[in-house]
Structure 1
């Protein structure tokens, strides 16, 4: 299954059987990130967390209801309990390892992105066909053949594709061959994945086009024309 990041209408099932709209999942991830800014707090009310997250309180309360989390009147949400519950629902309550195929400019940036370890993700493997032997963020880039040979080491990881479009399908096929079933692709192309493999596609160009459309729609000249 291949989905584009930000698709609003899909419904996902969590490990405990809860069905949550994809747009809500995206906001739950945002709330978890905002909660990390409240490390010294014991509790937070919905108005405060909503303001931090840039949403309205009613939406926040509705989103959190999908997780079974309920605040206490006059007190709000227990910060530690909310962090734990969001982590469980999002599947990040335990550390996750990440492997990246494609170590060009984007792969370099992803490997060095400090937001990953802060969110419980650690990059454990970098693989490329041309950059073998380079050290990126303390990790030596290894050949694809070694990745395949050590499949057991990486099978539980999340795979990231940061290759050019013409190499992306081969990269996906390699990840699937190793046994990786969760893949994030930055390649600007549609990929074919077998049943049971979840592929999230981040299309930067499409997101910029949508942003440009919204800017044009909301510009004073466009509003005046309507």
Structure 2
């Protein structure tokens, strides 16, 4: 990410940007618990991140606390919302009205975090016209046009791998510049389009490396 600071443009490492929502989530919880002041030490203990790393990450964007007094929880929370641009509501489109698409369209956790699903699309004629999360499922034939019409910048792909690249192309043509991809495939996108991947199988496979096998192992396929 490039952070503009007056006439000088400062490049912020992506790994820092990825940690900011983690800090924001912790601060949201603290605010709901009525906590007014925190410190990098307390945040670090909650998140398993060193206090030095937290201070370094935040320093990319300015000074938010005072030595000896810590951080004002609500102020720091609001500043992180501003930095992440979630101090507003971003309209999103979900492509794929299967089980995952239904879950995403009905998910209540988006609304208070700066996101709202405003359109759902599917290629199955049997699903088009049905309602999901208060929205009418629309045809893929109108996807690009509707994305542009609604000013949607964020798309969520919840389709099989073989259809994902075509969906991404249509989203980008309509004006989408950020894609959350649940399909188990790496997308090819032009410069300026951000893609984040969510693949539960990859996450599970990385976790099983750390597990000790049971004495009685289950043979896959048996």
| TM-score bracket, shorter-length normalisation | 0.7 to 0.9
Post-superposition offset of 1:140: 1.4
RMSD of equivalent CA atoms: 2.1
The TM-score normalised by the length of structure 1 is 0.82
Among 117, 124, 128, the residue aligned to 1:123: 117
**Alpha-carbon separation, structure 2, partners of 1:37 and 1:209:** 30
**For each residue in 1:96-124, what CA deviation from the matched residue of structure 2 results, as whole angstroms up to 9, or x when unmatched?**
11101111111111112222112110110
Match of 2:167 in 1: 171
Aligned to 1:32: 24
Partner of 1:160: 156
Distance in 1 (CA, whole Å) between partners of 2:109 and 2:205 is 25
Q: Deviations over 1:12-42 (max 9, x none)?
A: 3235544222222222111101111122333
Residue equivalent to 1:7: none
Alpha-carbon shift at residue 184 of structure 1 (Å): 1.2
Q: State whether structure 2 residue 76 is matched by structure 1 residue 87.
A: no
Map of 1:22-171 to 2, 5 A cutoff?
22-39=14-31, 40-130=34-124, 131-171=127-167
Distance (Å, rounded) in 1 between the aligned partners of 2:210 and 2:18: 20
**1:180 matched to which residue of 2?**
176
Moved over 6 A (4+): none
Count of aligned pairs: 207
Distance (Å, rounded) in 2 between the aligned partners of 1:64 and 1:123: 30
Whole-angstrom CA distance in 2 between matches of 1:158 and 1:51: 33
Shift of the alpha carbon at 1:84?
2.2
Residues 1:151 and 1:116: Cα distance change in structure 2 (over 3 Å): closer
Give a deviation string over 1:177-223, Cα, whole Å, max 9, x none: 2111111111101222123222222232222222222335xx9xxxx
Q: 5+ residue gaps in structure 2?
A: 214-222
Structure 1 window deviating more from structure 2 (75-84 vs 41-50): it is 41-50
Whose RCO is larger (CA < 8 A, sep 6+)?
1
Change (3 A) 1:22 1:214: farther
- What SS class does the counterpart of residue 148 from structure 1 fall into? helix
